[in-house]
């Protein structure tokens, strides 16, 4: 079992994904799966999930240039600004008090 499917209980695969491809592409995928001693389904699923994880991880972070990073750190290090309305709001009793 790979790290991705290595849970104690094997999940039931109930969804299906159909794929159209050329005979050449199919042979290439079959050859790659054979090299890794996997079924074509296992190979394609693991490859697709790995790529999906990389792409989604890329989207979940914030990228800043060196200049933007310095400005961000400076903003974090600077003292908070006074906001009268916020102070009034926080002074009011809450529903949970």
Domain residues for the domain of 41 are: 20-60
Task: Average pLDDT across each block of 10 residues of the chain; the chain has 97 residues. List them in order.
Answer: 55 91 97 97 96 86 89 94 91 86
Q: Is residue 74 part of a domain?
A: no
Q: Is residue 84 part of a domain?
A: no
Q: What is the pLDDT of residue 4?
A: 54
Q: What gap in Å lies between CA 92 and CA 97, rounded to an integer?
A: 10
Residue 95 backbone dihedrals phi, psi, to 5 degrees: -65, -25
Q: What gap in Å lies between CA 61 and CA 90, rounded to an integer?
A: 31
What is the number of domains present in the chain? Answer: 1
**Using an 8 Å Cβ cutoff, are 40 and 29 in contact?**
yes
Residue 76 backbone dihedrals phi, psi, to 5 degrees: -65, -35
Q: What is the pLDDT of residue 62?
A: 80
Q: What is the pLDDT of residue 83?
A: 93
Q: Is residue 44 part of a domain?
A: yes
What is the reported pTM?
0.54
């Amino acid at each position: 079992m790979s790290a991705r499917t290595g849970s104690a209980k094997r999940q039931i695969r109930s969804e299906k994904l159909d794929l159209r491809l050329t005979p050449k592409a199919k042979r290439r995928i079959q050859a790659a799966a054979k090299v890794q001693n996997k079924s074509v389904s296992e190979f394609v699923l693991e490859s697709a999930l790995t790529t999906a994880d990389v792409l989604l991880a890329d989207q979940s972070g914030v990228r800043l240039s060196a200049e933007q990073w310095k400005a961000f750190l400076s903003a974090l290090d600077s003292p908070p600004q006074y906001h009268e309305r916020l102070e009034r709001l926080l002074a009011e009793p809450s529903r949970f008090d």
